[in-house]
């Protein structure tokens, strides 16, 4: 009896999904995922960066766009410095760190330079960063994570209207005042017809590093109640850990610094839920994304 030995190669392909009416996906980005919050201080940027790293760890081509032109934090969180290259004087090469591409106004100006811009100027700057960055090279990106500014004002609304977004993720903490503002962010995305893929509850529980006692410092179940109220998935509950803050400040987020840790696994689980929810959305027609399909 002979033994036949062969090989099996498995590949995956991430499709482009539909965006808002009257907008078209970028030619070199399959899916833009906006990460927003109704208020600051809920860990939105930390969540966005770690989600991007988690998606890249699963084999996707991923970029991060820091859309907070007034308070850019992505360069510090990814440990980036210096200026990006512009090979033709018209387009910009994204910078790379920990396996993802990144672009931020913080990479184009001095760190201590304030952006004293009115809304239209900020929106124009973001649009230029989005459209003039050479995302993904010849292969393009599977996901571009856009870290939106906190809040739901005119700037955020205009950005959500102009960026072709396949889905949005809302970040909140469990406390009532945070979920109250997160509901406004959810309603903003609904207004511009961006599908909300789900909620991520950040700082859900703190486990003492000395005694192991678990304490819900910001309350318990707020994200779950909000998800049930609005009929959207709770994509994950992330811990409140000093290491997450320290590693982000040091430029090596927890998914890269400690990939086997429970915190990193929580981010990876949430990122996979995001990818699953997006995969359930309608795909664009082949004619729109022929260069990427």
Q: Is 41 annotated as a binding residue?
A: yes
Note every long-range contact of 123-131, with CB atoms under 8 Å and residues 24 or more positions apart, other chains counting: 123/155, 123/158, 123/159, 123/162, 125/69, 126/67, 126/69, 126/159, 126/163, 127/162, 129/65, 129/92, 129/103, 129/104, 129/105, 130/26, 130/65, 130/163, 131/26
Q: Is 44 annotated as a binding residue?
A: yes
What residue ranges in the chain does DSSP mark as E strands? Answer: 29-36, 62-66, 95-97, 100-104, 141-147, 167-172, 196-201, 206-207, 214-215, 234-237
Paired tokens of 192? 């511009």
* DSSP conformation letters of 134-152: -TTTTT-EEEEEEEPPSS-
Q: Is 43 annotated as a binding residue?
A: yes
The phi, psi pair for 285, rounded to 5°, reads -70, 150
Q: Is 45 annotated as a binding residue?
A: yes
Backbone dihedral region for residue 43 (phi beyond 0: left; psi -120 to 50: alpha; all else: beta): left
For β-strands 234-237 and 196-201, DSSP reports them as parallel
CB 289 within 8 A of CB 16: yes
Q: Is 140 annotated as a binding residue?
A: no
Annotated binding-site residues for ATP read 38-45
Annotated binding-site residues read 38-45
């Amino acid at each position: 009896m002979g033994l036949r030995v062969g090989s099996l190669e498995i590949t995956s392909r991430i499709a482009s999904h539909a965006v808002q009416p009257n907008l078209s996906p970028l030619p070199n980005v399959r899916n833009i995922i906006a990460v927003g919050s109704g208020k600051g201080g809920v860990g939105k940027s930390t969540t966005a960066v770690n989600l991007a790293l988690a998606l890249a760890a699963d084999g996707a081509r991923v970029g991060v766009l820091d859309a907070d032109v007034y308070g850019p934090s992505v360069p510090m969180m990814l440990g980036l410095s210096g200026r990006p290259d512009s090979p033709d004087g018209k387009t910009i090469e994204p910078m790379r760190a920990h396996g993802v591409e990144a672009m931020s106004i913080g990479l184009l100006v001095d760190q201590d330079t304030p952006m004293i811009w009115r809304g239209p100027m900020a929106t124009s700057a973001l649009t230029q960063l989005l459209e003039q960055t050479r995302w993904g090279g010849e292969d393009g990106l599977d996901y571009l994570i856009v870290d939106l500014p906190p809040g739901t004002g005119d700037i955020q609304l205009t950005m959500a209207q102009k960026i072709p977004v396949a889905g949005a993720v809302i970040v909140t903490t469990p406390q009532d005042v945070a979920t109250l503002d997160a509901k406004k962010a959810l309603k903003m995305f609904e207004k511009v017809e961006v599908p909300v893929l789900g909620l991520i509850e950040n700082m859900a529980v703190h486990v003492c590093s000395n005694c192991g006692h678990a304490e819900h410092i910001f309350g318990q179940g707020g994200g779950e109640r909000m998800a049930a109220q609005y009929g959207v998935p709770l994509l994950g509950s992330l811990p409140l850990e000093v290491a997450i803050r320290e590693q982000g400040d040091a430029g090596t987020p927890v998914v890269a610094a400690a990939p086997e840790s429970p915190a990193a696994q929580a981010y990876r689980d949430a990122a996979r839920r995001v990818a699953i929810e997006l995969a359930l959305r309608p795909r664009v027609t082949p004619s729109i994304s022929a260069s990427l399909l």
